[in-house]
Structure 1
């Protein structure tokens, strides 16, 4: 293996240093297998530490290349994958090593697996077969997100350098240009993404080329051009319903919502369960009228189709920053005015609650799932933590009451809902003046209605009744926000809740009892 300039490496790790020392001792003792194991672990901790690569070179010299010491049986450790990639490059086969680094980046995109000189050598881009590189880059794109997380961008840039060199060497290879555009888009190189996608679509017109071009235009904010490209993609393959969803989303971004909904309806006529279209259709319907029923229907679809081919974020995006759908409402909420309970929750119960407490969640079913760990906390302890100093004095962010009430949902789940102890406890908590505990208990009921269709009529009746009780008072807005998140409400109740939200809020009266926790966003 060629010597590596020290300036090329920046990452260090005490754990890697320890493993490196053990690898050096094993190598000196002739224990090559042990040395290989320690080197793989060191690479996993600090993939660009120069001493590790120098020792890997020594091992390769001692063991005839050392590839046999880093086998790729099913599910090998990531350090072994990376070590084998570097050894292949040292053996004059960098084109075989690059896909292994991509596999490592797919596991942990923020790690600097490719931050080594041989990856960015122009010779690699020139010698690697462009179709192979395109497939390798496409595999990488499927694992890193669009856009890539900010903390991953710098670690992934070496792969973009490989594509640049390959494009310079191989010219107008359509698949390479399209895959390179997809990677450039994910890394924030929007102009490059548009340029490469346009060149690829001109070089070899195709459905995939137009899709790549449409996505590149979308990232650049050039929505009319994106729409034109996606329409051309539909013309290539009218049976690909995923492109219909892309066209609909682009039309919606252009403000043409009615036309966007017609595209989803057209696709759903062909396949009512096509996941990309179902997600897009429910999102756009919610955008059109704000009725939470569309999001509940989407949550039901997700629950009934756990093996969808693609990962979707439509439900989370619709719920984000919306009171109760994606977290606690902004601004102060009525303080808890309940009498302290005498029971003392255990320290373990308090820790479990605080471990999951948060002021935000992706959507109500996700909040329900997050509270599952509280099945290990007894119901009486969850109730005790609603008003106990052991919780109030932690100084933790608001939301403790919400998670305690959500935790109650996971107890006695074998009991029919209408006769269940969890329902009875939560109904007891919503009585009296509206305060933080009341809101938390109402939200737990609303959340359960999201995850159990059989409970929806009952919960809708409870929420409607509570809203009717407070409709003319200063606490109406607090209940109305919860009502708008509840499944199954009749139209008059929804209209009452919406009208209450639109009316300027009356200053809330804080409860007379001691405040449990600050009610704020972090």
Structure 2
């Protein structure tokens, strides 16, 4: 999920600083560090927070020693911001810029770049262009595609000034020139974007003129074109490489990435990248590109978000600082929602209940086809798990394996192989009895702010575990196929989506399963789409994206999926 943190105002930041000072007075440096992380997350520019951080460093015996008190597994913005400032105080400039870039990218509209050390006139000579390049990549990842608004440009301004200063010292660093061109384009500086892109191309082409046999330089030229918005112009350079070396470890993957960009997205070339990686597992660049292109895309890079009305109420209560821990709510919904919604509400607010006034038609409690696997029993609109809880070891293993995000569908499929030894009974039971999130900063965020994402992650990886059940059985006759199909066509629920993703990931990993998986997902999407014409069907957008993840499906079907997705998205917003 990245560095998520609920935003607070100055009063919250100052109160966190005050508590940090009390902890410092008692010698509790770890306690002070956690509260300073919260203070910086609330207001990165607060002078009192910076002063308190300096006093923590002094109490710890120096900035480097103070770093030990900040938990590295808690990647929320305040902690990472504190680490950036401490590295700067210790003179570790690469690490400082690296981490500052991460928090700017996570929250570019905020004042992370408004810090004195970033404006040092000699900083450009103290930091490496490689570290600045990593920071630029992180920052651009958090910026909108179009020209940024004035306020955002002002917030990022000091960082952009450092990039320009470093390029003056390293005018032939093609990677940084390329990344800087992207940064300038997103900040609404077309002249600088073109200048740096042309400068990068000139450097690459000069190197090719000196040594035409260096095929990697041809790839560099192609990627400059791709990153600066002209992917079609880069393809001929890759074709020249592949004519010479058809198995080139970077040109082969890069051609799929450039075609993806040149054709405006879709999943055809992402699947080709995944297939390339399966054929050449030592071509790590293919995995890097695939992860970059899947990042932030529902189902390709993370669980699909949920949109049920009761979740909106849940989020408002969880975000209210006045809400008592462990408080509960009694919701009354106008229409039945997927049963798993109740799991999420009760995970976030354990003493809660949801009642629904009516069951709309077509009845979402009825499976689309006859199924042999049941997860839910219904008493009118009220649903309850049809299975007993899973064994404690099974629940704990799923808890450790489940994740909200992944690099690509194939990566999620491979990661879930750790669950292949669990019984089908346990994997099914965990879908309706999800364990709590892991004890970590991200786990605390999910439990305290978006528990539905964790429930969906558990269900997703439980279904991926089912996809590995008795993997030696031929797919068409396998128990894993039969169970996932049952879950896909069962009563409308988030488990339909999780099973659909497990089928999709299986098809990405196994070309022999693609035709059938595409047909199954299309069948389910079509049925739910017809129901959506009569009533709400909150799983439809997710099913549409699953079908769009099947580029082998007929173009007409994918066009229908895209139109339905657009219609549902307009309706939900």
TM-score for both structures, normalised by structure 2: 0.50
Q: Note closer, same or farther for the CA distance 1:334–1:154 as it changes in structure 2 (3 Å cut).
A: farther
Per the TM alignment, residue 296 of structure 1 is displaced from its structure 2 partner at its CA by 3.7
Q: Which structure 2 residues correspond to residues 182-221 of structure 1 after superposition, within 5 A?
A: 182-183=179-180, 185-186=182-183, 190=187, 194-195=191-192, 198=195, 210-211=199-200
Matched, 1:267 2:235: no
Q: Is the 8 A contact 1:345 1:385 kept in 2?
A: no
Question: 3-state SS of the aligned residue for 2:474?
Answer: helix
Question: 3-state SS of the aligned residue for 1:12?
Answer: helix
Q: Is the 8 A contact 1:330 1:521 kept in 2?
A: no
**Partner of residue 368 from structure 1, selected from 413, 421, 425:** 413
**Match of residue 82 from structure 1:** 85
Q: Note closer, same or farther for the CA distance 1:136–1:401 as it changes in structure 2 (3 Å cut).
A: closer
**Match of residue 30 from structure 1:** none
138-147 or 45-54: bigger deviation? 45-54
Q: Note closer, same or farther for the CA distance 1:498–1:145 as it changes in structure 2 (3 Å cut).
A: same
Per the TM alignment, residue 139 of structure 1 is displaced from its structure 2 partner at its CA by 0.8
Q: Note closer, same or farther for the CA distance 1:385–1:290 as it changes in structure 2 (3 Å cut).
A: same
Q: Is the 8 A contact 2:219 2:250 kept in 1?
A: yes
**Match of residue 281 from structure 1:** 255
Per the TM alignment, residue 408 of structure 1 is displaced from its structure 2 partner at its CA by 0.8
Cα distance in 2 between the residues matched to 1:364 and 1:184: 31
265-274 or 437-446: bigger deviation? 437-446
Cα distance in 2 between the residues matched to 1:106 and 1:375: 39
Q: Which structure 2 residues correspond to residues 284-363 of structure 1 after superposition, within 5 A?
A: 284=258, 295-302=270-277, 304-305=280-281, 308=284, 312-314=288-290, 317=293, 336-337=366-367, 338=371, 340=374, 343-346=386-389, 363=408
**Partner of residue 379 from structure 1, selected from 413, 419, 424:** 424
Q: Note closer, same or farther for the CA distance 1:100–1:297 as it changes in structure 2 (3 Å cut).
A: closer
Question: 3-state SS of the aligned residue for 1:444?
Answer: helix
**Partner of residue 466 from structure 2, selected from 396, 408, 421:** 408
Q: Note closer, same or farther for the CA distance 1:363–1:431 as it changes in structure 2 (3 Å cut).
A: same
Can you list the C-alpha shifts for 1:265-293, whole angstroms capped at 9, x where unaligned?
Answer: 21224444545422231245567799977
Question: 3-state SS of the aligned residue for 2:387?
Answer: coil
**Match of residue 24 from structure 2:** 23
Can you list the C-alpha shifts for 1:146-204, whole angstroms capped at 9, x where unaligned?
Answer: 6141499877543344567x69xxx9655399868955853767465744984xx7xxx
Aligned residues: 423
Cα distance in 2 between the residues matched to 1:163 and 1:290: 29
**Match of residue 133 from structure 2:** 141
Q: Note closer, same or farther for the CA distance 1:345–1:210 as it changes in structure 2 (3 Å cut).
A: farther
Cα distance in 2 between the residues matched to 1:248 and 1:265: 14
**Partner of residue 242 from structure 1, selected from 208, 215, 219:** 219
Q: Is the 8 A contact 2:410 2:505 kept in 1?
A: yes
Cα distance in 2 between the residues matched to 1:43 and 1:328: 33
Per the TM alignment, residue 498 of structure 1 is displaced from its structure 2 partner at its CA by 3.9
Cα distance in 1 between the residues matched to 2:46 and 2:498: 50
Per the TM alignment, residue 102 of structure 1 is displaced from its structure 2 partner at its CA by 1.8
Cα distance in 1 between the residues matched to 2:237 and 2:506: 33
**Match of residue 102 from structure 1:** 97
**Partner of residue 175 from structure 1, selected from 149, 163, 171:** 171
Q: Is the 8 A contact 2:101 2:136 kept in 1?
A: yes
Q: Note closer, same or farther for the CA distance 1:40–1:101 as it changes in structure 2 (3 Å cut).
A: farther
Q: Note closer, same or farther for the CA distance 1:244–1:58 as it changes in structure 2 (3 Å cut).
A: closer
Q: Note closer, same or farther for the CA distance 1:281–1:449 as it changes in structure 2 (3 Å cut).
A: same
Q: Note closer, same or farther for the CA distance 1:311–1:74 as it changes in structure 2 (3 Å cut).
A: farther
Q: Note closer, same or farther for the CA distance 1:321–1:278 as it changes in structure 2 (3 Å cut).
A: same
Per the TM alignment, residue 316 of structure 1 is displaced from its structure 2 partner at its CA by 6.2
Q: Is the 8 A contact 2:88 2:117 kept in 1?
A: no
Q: Is the 8 A contact 1:230 1:246 kept in 2?
A: no
Cα distance in 2 between the residues matched to 1:149 and 1:108: 9
Question: 3-state SS of the aligned residue for 2:132?
Answer: helix
Cα distance in 2 between the residues matched to 1:59 and 1:440: 46
Cα distance in 2 between the residues matched to 1:268 and 1:307: 15
Cα distance in 2 between the residues matched to 1:432 and 1:11: 45
Question: 3-state SS of the aligned residue for 2:479?
Answer: helix
**Match of residue 13 from structure 2:** 12
Question: 3-state SS of the aligned residue for 1:416?
Answer: coil
For structure 1, the 5+ residue unaligned runs are: 1-8, 27-33, 89-95, 202-207, 215-227, 389-394, 488-493, 508-519
Q: Is the 8 A contact 1:324 1:481 kept in 2?
A: no
Report the structure number with the largest CA radius of gyration: 1
Q: Note closer, same or farther for the CA distance 1:237–1:364 as it changes in structure 2 (3 Å cut).
A: same
Q: Which structure 2 residues correspond to residues 424-443 of structure 1 after superposition, within 5 A?
A: 424-427=479-482, 430=485
Matched, 1:450 2:508: yes
Q: Is the 8 A contact 2:12 2:39 kept in 1?
A: yes
TM-score for both structures, normalised by structure 1: 0.54
